[in-house]
A and B are shown apart, each in its own frame.
Chain A
Amino acid sequence: MQTLLSLSNDLAAAVERAARAVVTVHARPRLPSTGVLWRPGIVVTAEHTVRVDEEIRVTWSDGRAAPATLVGRDPGTDLAVLRIGESDPTTAEIGDSAELKVGHLVLAVGYGPRASWGVVSAVGGAWRTGRGGEVDRLLRVDLVLYPGFSGGPLVDASGKVAGLVTSGLSRQLELAVPTATVTRVVDELLATGRVSRGYLGVGLQPVALPEALGRLAPGADARGLIVVGVVADGPAARAGLMLGDVLVALEGTPLHDLGDVQAAIAGRRAGTAVTVSLFRAGTPLDVAVTLAERPSRRR
């Protein structure tokens, strides 16, 4: 019976270990969310749970409380960074999500502490979220994310943090943001207060090109993206892009679908000029567009 008992003890110890760096984040009405002390004085939580910009508070399960200021948010990866006055020396022990394999036992820890368990159900390569964020690795878990768990740590059987769980990136799947992504976003938010992500300001739709045009396109491809909307005063509008232009390449990379456009611009910061190859009225044309920052959403 020793093996079962020791597994049980290990799981409880893992929760306890992780819970030391777990705080309750009070940044929305009614239901608080969970945060992780990533570094001394720095709390990471799920962006979608931070509904206010001011008067944010964090509390610990032992009753301590501290005011927090919002350092920045990255809706793309659903991460927000808070700074707390109290520099609690207990920070999370951060592991490497890349070590997680399908089938590994994992726990999610919410404020309280509360816990749920399950296994890693899928891992994969880098992916882009619906809100344009770049996540280094797909990490899908089979566990219940109870109310308030968003922003809490995904913990391996030894108690090390393997990611941040959130219900904000997918409605259907339980996903975790890997530690490498969290650390990258934390660094960027601490440095500049935002995660810069290039923005074109156009609405696009995939189209098939007539054969004659297709032969002229880069890579002799017969597909492109037709401009069906131009955001007024956006980067594309300022560069003179028009309704009906058919985009075929960005910096020489062929564009087949919207994902290609996102992939081509997301790595480039606002302020960068990119060459967009397009067809206008059947004539090939190269236009330089200076990417800008995506206008922030209204809250």
Chain B
Amino acid sequence: MEVVERPHPLTSDLADVVGRLRENTVELRTRGRASGSGVIWRSDGLIVTNAHVVAGAGPAPPGAQVVLADGCRFPAALVAWDRELDLALLRVEACDLPAALVGDSDRLRAGELVLAVGHPFGLVGAVVSGIVHAAPARGHHAGPQWIQADLRLAPGNSGGPMADAAGRVVGVNAMIAGRLALAVPSRVVQTFAMRRAPR
């Protein structure tokens, strides 16, 4: 009997989704040091990250750099930030960047698979997988609403994407609380980017 070994479709799906997600993820460097991760939000050079990743960098962070997955480096300018939402926008002079597919965080359900990519401990494009622990509360409650995920993040994951099983970015990783990963929902990011990004 002939046995054909091929990877389980789940494995190849996962590799595809992760491969694309890694292209959407950038490494942020300030003062020559890795400071966190970011998501390519628009192909024309708009990058989203956490405010705490670029905090203190000032409007023109000296030597702030965005490193793409292919290794290309671009100087970055801080466009906007909001400490309460823990979001910041950076701008690089580039076009045709591999922008992330943005998903709808309001449609997340507990138990759904999620993936996160980031640069913890100097590892480039490290991937972790988990599930949604609790979906963010819908509607307009006071204070930021987080996606809570049963997912093992590390410090360098801050600012990087949290994506669903289709590779759509549903959140921006922001915090580790207990053993939970907290991410800013894509709805909040989307609104912030629309209001604060230059056209």
Contacts and interface: CB of A to CB of B under 8 A. Distances in A.
B112 A114 contact: no
A19 B130 CA distance: 19
B178 A146 contact: yes
A170 interface: no
A116 B133 contact: yes
Contacts of B196: none
Contacts of B109: 12, 15-16
B16 interface: yes
A12 B150 contact: no
A40 interface: no
Contacts of B17: 1, 4
B13 A117 contact: no
Interface in B98-113: 109-113
B96 to A, nearest CB: 24
B16 A1 contact: yes
Contact of B150 (A9, A13, A144): A144
A114 B134 contact: yes
B180 interface: yes
A229 to B, nearest CB: 42
B10 A3 contact: yes
Interface in B1-33: 8-10, 13-14, 16-17
A146 B180 contact: yes
Given A116-B150, A146-B179, A19 B164 contact: no
A5 interface: yes
Given A5-B166, A7-B113, A146-B180, A115 B131 contact: yes
Interface of B is mostly: mixed
Contacts of A56: none
Interface string A100-119: 00000001000011111100
Contact of B111 (A12, A144, A147): A12
Given A3-B9, A116-B150, A146-B180, A11 B112 contact: yes
Given A4-B10, A4-B13, A112 B111 contact: no
A117 B110 contact: no
B112 A144 contact: no
Interface in B161-198: 164-167, 178-180
Interface in B32-54: none
Given A114-B133, A117-B130, A146-B178, 15 more contacts: A4-B13, A9-B165, A12-B109, A12-B110, A15-B109, A15-B111, A112-B134, A113-B110, A115-B110, A115-B131, A116-B131, A116-B133, A117-B150, A143-B150, A146-B133
26 contacts: A3-B8, A3-B9, A3-B10, A4-B10, A4-B13, A4-B165, A4-B166, A5-B166, A7-B113, A8-B113, A9-B165, A11-B111, A11-B112, A11-B113, A12-B132, A13-B111, A15-B110, A15-B111, A16-B109, A16-B111, A114-B134, A115-B110, A116-B150, A143-B150, A144-B150, A146-B180
Interface of A: 1-5, 7-9, 11-16, 19, 107, 112-117, 143-144, 146-147
